[in-house]
Structure 1
Amino acid sequence: MSFTDMTFSFEAVRWLVVSVIGIYAWFIGRQSASAAELLELRTRLTTLEAQMAQVPSQAQLHELVATVAGLAARIEPVARSVDRIENYLLNQK
């Protein structure tokens, strides 16, 4: 084995080591990016769950619609009375 063969071997080993380090750094960079994205998604999911906890359910909305319909039925006679009073006052002037 001559000196030029050894130099070639050192160059090949150095190229191999640098390539392995580069691939390892790329892989670790991807993993850390994935971890950051996962943390962001977890944060968004937690925020969404907190907001959805405050949204009324379908049963509550149906109950609210029924209550509003009942109130509208109660207000209708009052509105007619107010209209009659308004007409009376407008005609008396």
Structure 2
Amino acid sequence: MTYSFEAVRWLMLTAIGIYAWFVGRQSASGAELLELRTRITTLEAQMAQVPSQQQLHELVATVERMRGSIEAVGARIEPLAHSVNRVEDYLLHKK
């Protein structure tokens, strides 16, 4: 009877040891946790610098307004450029 209790005790101790070794191997160490926390903190700081969706929509609207203004200025300059070309041709060929 003592022999079987001793064997069961060694089997249980061995099973607990193997389980502890397996769990300890899979758990993250303190250094890994510190590294992950540092990476997450850095990522959060970088994401705080990213503009929001509303700010991006405002930027797109502003760029579209500027594009319209530039096209309007271009349309006004085009006839002026034709006039300058005509004056240049006149000056080059008549004098």
- TM-score between the two structures when normalised by the length of structure 2: 0.54
Superposition pairs of residues 1-93 of structure 1, within 5 angstroms: 1-2=1-2, 4-26=3-25, 28-29=27-28, 40-41=39-40, 43-52=42-51, 56-90=55-89, 92-93=92-93
Q: Which string of whole-angstrom CA distances, capped at 9 and with x for unpartnered residues, describes residues 54-88 of structure 1?
A: x9432343233223313432342223212321244
Q: Distance in 2 between matches of 1:75 and 1:22?
A: 75
1:24 to 1:80, Cα distance in 2 relative to 1, 3 A: same
Aligned length: 91
Q: Which string of whole-angstrom CA distances, capped at 9 and with x for unpartnered residues, describes residues 21-40 of structure 1?
A: 1243145339x868865764
Q: Which runs of no fewer than 5 residues in structure 2 stay unpaired?
A: none
Identity of aligned pairs, percent? 3
Q: Which runs of no fewer than 5 residues in structure 1 stay unpaired?
A: none
Q: Distance in 1 between matches of 2:82 and 2:12?
A: 98
Partner AA of 2:51 in structure 1: M
Q: Distance in 2 between matches of 1:67 and 1:35?
A: 48
* Residue 12 (structure 1) shift: 1.0
C-alpha root-mean-square deviation of aligned residues, in Å?
3.8
